[in-house]
Amino acid sequence: MINILMIEDDIELADILSEYLAQYDIKVTNIDDPFLGVSTLNQEKFDLVILDLTLPGLDGLEVCSDIRKRHDIPIIISSARHDIVDKVEALERGADDYLPKPYNPRELEARIKSLLRRKNHNFNLNKGLKKKENLTFIVDEEKMQIKQNGKVLNLTSAEYGILKYLINKNSSVVSREELLYNIKVINEESTYKSIDVIIGRIRHKINDNPREPKYIHSIRGVGYKFTQ
């Protein structure tokens, strides 16, 4: 497992990223205080640091310098500060990558693995997720059918593709971009709104109340998570 320290005072964002990265065997420990974050890094072993620049009490650039003086660890800056001066100074102070907010968590996951490969860290970066046994929903790929409690659902090709993908990713957060990229029957020019509309139709057909979802859960700012 990849062990990451995140220093980020936006708790909601940290929770979203932590949940998303967990499906890729990446454990995130988030600290919202920069002083405590540096102290934690001095006491525990981590493989990579994700660092915000706008932090309470201490600018992230100072934190970056402090970390680089003490540790030879990859650092990814995750910041809403888009000024080229901040980007250049962060890299000059020892950061390895700079990812401007907002961004898709999938890109962060890809950058983490790319950076660790470049740093010659020996991780099984392609480790797959174990599929959980389907109980309520059963997918018949040969017939392109999905059964709910033994009853075949009346789905369009797009609905079938999205629901099948979500079922196969059971309990993992799936971004809208991931659905657009992986569901072949969906037009590549479709928008995130199109995905939301199809999800709404699926919810109606499986009797899943979006206000109190049992199966398809909305993950704010990212996409969806299917559980059963």
Residue 1 structure tokens: 């497992």
- In terms of Cβ atoms closer than 10 Å to its own Cβ (0-12, 13-18, 19+), residue 184 is exposed
| Beta-ladder partners of 226 | 216
pTM of the model: 0.56
For residues 64 and 95, the answer to whether their CB atoms sit within 8 Å is: yes
Residue 39 structure tokens: 């102290």
12-26, 28-42, 96-110, 165-179 — which one is most confidently predicted on average? 28-42
- Give 172-207 pLDDT, tens digit per residue: 888 988 898 888 888 766 788 899 999 999 999 999
* 3-state per-residue secondary structure call for 106-136: HHHHHHHHHHHHHCCCCCCCCCCCCCCCCCC
